[in-house]
Amino acid sequence: MYREYLEGLSLRDIAEGLEKYGIKNGAGHLKWHLSNIKTILVVRRTKKGEFIPASTLYPA
């Protein structure tokens, strides 16, 4: 997902790809909302439960 976004795919393109391949979201549904994808791209959680902005982990 990160690679695709950095390569220029839109959130909608990423969502369509996830749905096409039957990848379920965190709630177990096949429908991906753009807000779900944006959240994944913006925020990551560490093993200790701390939130870290994805931009610091995956700089463009």
HSE on the CB side for 46, CA within 13 Å? 7
- C-alpha closest to that of 39 among 17, 16, 8, 15: 15
**3 pLDDT more than 90:** no
- C-alpha closest to that of 34 among 59, 17, 56: 17
pLDDT value for 15: 96
* Interatomic CA distance for residues 28 and 5, integer angstroms: 22
H or E element at residue 20 = helix 11-20
Determine if the pTM surpasses 0.75. no
Beta-bridge mates of residue 43: 53
Q: What pLDDT digit, counting tens, does each position of 9-44 carry?
A: 999 999 999 999 999 998 999 999 999 998 888 766
